[in-house]
Amino acid sequence: MSRLTRPDLDALPAYVPGRTIPGSIKLASNEVPYGPLPGVLEAITEAAAGVHRYPDMGVVALRDALAERLGVAPERIATGCGSVALAEHLFRATCLPGDEAVYSWRSFEAYPIIAATSGATSVKVPNTAEHGHDLPAMAAAVTGKTRIIMVCNPNNPTGTALRKPELDAFLDAVPEDVLVVLDEAYREFVTDPSVPDGLVTYGDRPNVVVLRTLSKAWGLAGLRIGYLVASPEVAAAVRKVVTPFSASLLAQAAALAALRASDEMSRRAALVINERERVLTAVRKIFPEVPESQANFVWLPLGDRSAAFAEACERGGVIVRPFQGDGVRVTIGTPEENDAFLSTLD
Residue 2: DSSP 8-state: -
The verdict on whether omega for the bond into residue 157 sits within 30 degrees of 0, i.e. cis, is yes
Nearest CA-CA partner of 183 in 222, 144, 230: 230
**Minimum CB distance to ligand PLP smaller for 212 or for 239:** 212
What 3-state DSSP class applies to 160? coil
* Stretch near ligand PLP under the rule CB under 6 A, chosen from 36-44, 79-87, 90-98, 241-249: 79-87
The verdict on whether omega for the bond into residue 335 sits within 30 degrees of 0, i.e. cis, is no
Q: Which of residues 132, 159, 226, 333 is near ligand PLP by CB under 6 A?
A: 226
Least distance CB 29 / ligand PLP (angstroms): 7
Residue 130 CA to residue 91 CA, distance in Å, equals: 28
Q: Do 138 and 144 form a contact (C-beta atoms < 8 A)?
A: no
Q: Do 123 and 146 form a contact (C-beta atoms < 8 A)?
A: yes
**Minimum CB distance to ligand PLP smaller for 86 or for 345:** 86
**Minimum CB distance to ligand PLP smaller for 114 or for 120:** 114
Residue 51 CA to residue 53 CA, distance in Å, equals: 5
Does 84 participate in binding ligand PLP (rule CB under 6 A)? yes
Does 294 participate in binding ligand PLP (rule CB under 6 A)? no
Does 118 participate in binding ligand PLP (rule CB under 6 A)? no
Q: Which of residues 104, 158, 160, 213 is near ligand PLP by CB under 6 A?
A: 213
Q: Do 218 and 35 form a contact (C-beta atoms < 8 A)?
A: no
Q: Which of residues 156, 158, 231, 338 is near ligand PLP by CB under 6 A?
A: 156
Q: Do 99 and 147 form a contact (C-beta atoms < 8 A)?
A: yes
**Minimum CB distance to ligand PLP smaller for 32 or for 152:** 152
* Stretch near ligand PLP under the rule CB under 6 A, chosen from 46-54, 78-86, 122-130, 279-287: 78-86
Q: Which of residues 26, 30, 89, 328 is near ligand PLP by CB under 6 A?
A: 30
Least distance CB 107 / ligand PLP (angstroms): 7
Q: What are phi and psi of 180, to 5 degrees?
A: -110, 120
Does 82 participate in binding ligand PLP (rule CB under 6 A)? yes
**Minimum CB distance to ligand PLP smaller for 18 or for 317:** 18
Q: Provide the CA 56 distance to its chain's centre, in angstroms.
A: 25
Does 215 participate in binding ligand PLP (rule CB under 6 A)? yes
* Stretch near ligand PLP under the rule CB under 6 A, chosen from 31-39, 76-84, 237-245, 313-321: 76-84
Neighbours of 90 (CB within 10 A): 30
Nearest CA-CA partner of 237 in 202, 271, 209: 209
Residue 233 CA to residue 311 CA, distance in Å, equals: 47
Does 83 participate in binding ligand PLP (rule CB under 6 A)? yes
What is the total count of residues that contact ligand PLP (CB under 6 A)? Answer: 13
* Residues forming the site for ligand PLP (CB under 6 A): 30, 82-84, 108, 152, 156, 183, 185, 213, 215, 221, 226
